[in-house]
Structure 1
Amino acid sequence: MVGSKSDVRPGRIVGVLALAGIVAAVMQTLVVPLIGDLPRILDTTASNASWVVTATLLSAAVATPVAGRLGDMYGKRRMLLISVVPLVLGSVVCALSSSLIPMIVGRGLQGLGMGVVPLGVSLLRDVLPPERLGSSIAVMSASMGVGGALGLPFSAAVAENASWRVLFWVTAALSLLVATMAWLFVPAGRAGTSSRRFDVPGAVGLGAGLISLLLAVSKGSDWGWTSGTTLGLLATAVVVLLAWGAWELRSAEPLVDLRVTARPQVLMTNAASVLVGFAMYAQSLVVPQLLQLPEATGYGLGQSMMAMGLWMAPAGLMMMALAPLGAKLSAARGPKVTLSLGSLVIAVGYGASLLLMGSTWGLLAVTLVCNTGVGLAYGAMPALIMGAVPQSETASANSFNTLMRSIGSSVSAAVIGVVLAQMTTDFGGHLLPSEGGFRAAMLMGCGVGLAAAVVAALIPVKPVAAAPEPGTGTEPHPAQEATA
């Protein structure tokens, strides 16, 4: 076992943790090529089949903050290894499924493992020397984009040339590989806190509130935005989350320390994260449709699912390629500047789409620019968070930040879905999103990117000297580590 930060092999550790992030991201895009076939595969309706996607979203939202808190309590590497278990089990259950309920259960299990990314980012702070931390955080953060980008062509290729079950057997094997490599090559890092009291009411309350909110957001278009079910879930979310917040403020050992999240630097970073999550996901909804719609529509580009995935893959790789540049910028000017710049780049990408969306090469350029901005922003967020929280709360704080991004993406899916559903055109008796609808969605992404840049520019970064925590000796302040 590695004894100190000076003994570690940073490249190997970052490689293993980045692979974990890539595998987790692949899980999220895994079923995209199967969506049209799921009703036939599972012998169910299209509406019921959509739960295969929703189940992962809901379980990930609940599991991510819980995994972060448990990582701070019992050790981040230990919780990372535990989080891989449902990834393996969920993949196996899905591979063996022939009906809806087992598939939903398997996808829910896969969602439980999504805490590996914030756990991995937080673990880097424990095990790497300060001079390697900034670039490593950026690479780890970019792994989600790489996984999402590679997941589409991989899934499409397998779905077109082999049994769909192969997808899940491959992800099960990859998850086992991640667990093995993490066990062998990633040090345990900082020991958990002396606290062993887990906030069960806080976890239940947050889970209930998030499930109510995300169910309403993700299924509102199916149920009707003014239906009793949707409005009831939204009302329940408000009441439950307010009660949860009151409980957390009174709890001596809360699941999420709201006093820490209320610090201006953390609060504003999380607010920017919601906006970046929204902007990031909007182009993921628009570009694949534009690429695949028939050319006869006048704006569709007639690409196959496989070709669409290949056109979008370079954007994810761009995130990884630019991670070191973002880290250097954060080291020189601070992560606040990197987050602001990244948000502006996202807005530029969306603005350029209004001129470039008529060709495959134009859309490739749009995704490259947008994902360049996303890569810069995602690499800066953990640095800003860790620069404002005690080391004993890094996993919890990063997990909450990841949750904010996920909420932004969920809201984006709902809002963009409504825009495209309302702005339609008749094509051979079928209603399809109109060119005006796609342009409106891209303009919305541009506006949200600009809003994220404004919020990021207002983040008050004020490094304050902090006393060393028990057992940490004379380590530097987190703000110094996070921007190193």
Structure 2
Amino acid sequence: MSSHGLPTSNDPQDAPPAVAAGTADGAGSQGSLTTLVLLVLGVFAYLTMEMMVAPIVPFVQKELGITGSQSAWMLTGLLVVGAVCLPLATRYADIADKKKVFLVVLGLSGLGAVIAALAGTAPLLIAGQMLQGVGVAVVPIAIGIMRDSQPLERARTANTIFVVSGGLGAAVAYVAVGPIVTHLHYSYIYWFPTIVIAAVVLIGLRALPTCPPVVGGKVDWTGALILGAALVALLLGLTFPTTLGWGSPLVLGLLVATILLLALFVVVERRHSSPLVDLHGLAEREIRGVMSINFAHAIATFVMYVILPTIALLPVAIGYGMGGDASTAGLVLLPYALLVVVAGPTAQRLEPLLGRRGTMILGAVFIVAAGLVLLPIGSAPWTPYLCSALMGLGLGIGFTQSLNTIVRVVPAERVASASGAVYVVRSVGGVLGGQIAAAIFSGGLTPEGAPSWGAILANILFLVALGVASVGLSYLLAGRRSARTTAATLTPAQA
């Protein structure tokens, strides 16, 4: 991959073999293990806390007496702040010490959680949730720390572990949130992870390795302001249609503003000597493929989040419901979380055999299969669990392969920001997917107010179409021959 004067690739065949510094003795291995454990604990604590927010919304509404539109901002506010802060935080991590940026971002998310836990009013709770959204940047920055401080193959293994941590966090969230709100108080979903976050920050101050920037630079504050405004306009434009409709002047105005702001952002970035986003790098074939695939996968994820809990709660008599309760709605997503844990290591082992392209295609095929198995749900009520499991495999393989591709083809000094761009794309795709799925359901209701089979079927076919599109987009990635030529491991300095 060309990078306009930057190293062409992190692929081992592009540089001479080398032995990673610090790995020849036990001290180096011990240090890398400590680094990995602290990063994984931070990522796990944040993602677990994030996944437990949605199930507690009804309890928060009841205790604080807030409306549904207010409580929706518990999730929307977190997403908006996360999407806006991601490019800024990850770019800053590229030109500063990643250790410091990681600890600050993680610490701010913990502070937001404390504010939300202590909140007695809706505005304060929402403010805490929004500050918590800063923590979305912990994963790409953790990836950057591993890429800077460890050999390439160990950094790729860490990517797998981060994906597994996300799956485990979701699994813990789905299982633990019920007992917590039943026997304790919803605020404990904030307190338990915050204890872990505080421990990681305090220990990490001494134990995490410093990661000074490979090259100098400065933060493009003008670009950050324009991109932040564009993302806020876009995400609000995608969330308001539920209540205002897609034809609302406010919604249309926000979407038009998004287009104009993004166009201005491109102009500014192309003229800046140290841009917030490396537009030239994002235009490269494989990175363009990774971004496109993750956009489709994010839409598919939130379509699944709408379909499966809805089916779980619909009565059996309707012909395509499971007749369950809130616990069933959570448990039906548990196979997804558990199979993500399996999918990460699977992708790591498959890439040398199938190549980047083949591995990504396999993940997309699982997504297609996940939609298709829902078709006979009337006669096979267990199919939502199978759908959930197949989605876990497909999305887990796809996300792990995406991160591994970023680590391989992006210059080391841009790994954090490139990984952050993936998360921004996933945030936007997630909001869009949830809105589309909800709109399809709203447009096809039975006289009793339940989603009709036609609406269920339309969302299922939409899920299948996203999987098929992902198969096609996978051809932007390198094939098996490229994967098989890897024979040596780079040190961070050589990458």
Contact 2:64/2:122 (<8 A) preserved: yes
How far residue 457 of structure 1 moved from its aligned partner, in angstroms, is 1.8
Q: What does 1:206-285 align with in structure 2 at a 5 Å threshold?
A: 206-285=227-306
Instruction: Name which of 325, 331, 334 aligns with 2:352.
Output: 331
Q: Which amino acid aligns with 1:410?
A: V
Counterpart of 1:344 in structure 2 is 365
Counterpart of 2:57 in structure 1 is 35
* Structure 1 residues 109-167: Cα deviation after superposition (integer angstroms, max 9, x where no partner): 11011100111122222223333333321221233233233323322221222211222
User: Does 2:436 match 1:415?
Assistant: yes
CA distance in 1, matches of 2:470, 2:145: 27
Q: What does 1:38-437 align with in structure 2 at a 5 Å threshold?
A: 38-183=60-205, 185-188=207-210, 190-356=211-377, 361-427=382-448, 431-437=449-455
Determine which structure has greater relative contact order: mean sequence separation of CA pairs < 8 Å that are 6+ residues apart, divided by chain length: 2
* Structure 1 residues 302-352: Cα deviation after superposition (integer angstroms, max 9, x where no partner): 223234323422321221123222101113332222112111111111111
Contact 1:142/1:378 (<8 A) preserved: no
CA distance in 2, matches of 1:242, 1:89: 35
Counterpart of 2:6 in structure 1 is none
* Structure 1 residues 332-382: Cα deviation after superposition (integer angstroms, max 9, x where no partner): 332222112111111111111212476553211111111101111010001
Instruction: Name which of 459, 467, 473 aligns with 1:449.
Output: 467
Q: Which amino acid aligns with 1:146?
A: L
CA distance in 2, matches of 1:16, 1:360: 41
Contact 2:224/2:276 (<8 A) preserved: yes
Contact 1:32/1:152 (<8 A) preserved: no
How far residue 181 of structure 1 moved from its aligned partner, in angstroms, is 4.9
Counterpart of 1:481 in structure 2 is none
Q: Which amino acid aligns with 1:170?
A: F
Contact 1:357/1:363 (<8 A) preserved: no
Change in Cα spacing, 1:366 to 1:104, as seen in structure 2 (3 Å) is same
Contact 2:94/2:414 (<8 A) preserved: yes
Counterpart of 2:15 in structure 1 is none
CA distance in 1, matches of 2:303, 2:143: 25
* Root mean square deviation, CA, Å: 2.4
Paired positions, count: 465
Change in Cα spacing, 1:254 to 1:451, as seen in structure 2 (3 Å) is same
Contact 1:38/1:46 (<8 A) preserved: no
Instruction: Name which of 32, 41, 53 aligns with 1:19.
Output: 41
Contact 2:298/2:429 (<8 A) preserved: yes
CA distance in 2, matches of 1:406, 1:314: 22
CA distance in 1, matches of 2:376, 2:41: 36
CA distance in 2, matches of 1:234, 1:394: 30
Q: What SS class does the counterpart of residue 218 from structure 2 fall into?
A: coil
Q: What SS class does the counterpart of residue 446 from structure 2 fall into?
A: strand
How far residue 94 of structure 1 moved from its aligned partner, in angstroms, is 0.7
Percent identical residues: 24
CA distance in 1, matches of 2:153, 2:245: 52
Q: Which amino acid aligns with 1:94?
A: A
Contact 2:377/2:384 (<8 A) preserved: yes
TM-score with structure 2 setting the length: 0.88
Contact 1:314/1:368 (<8 A) preserved: yes
Contact 1:21/1:143 (<8 A) preserved: yes
Give unpaired runs (5+ residues) of structure 1.
466-470, 478-484
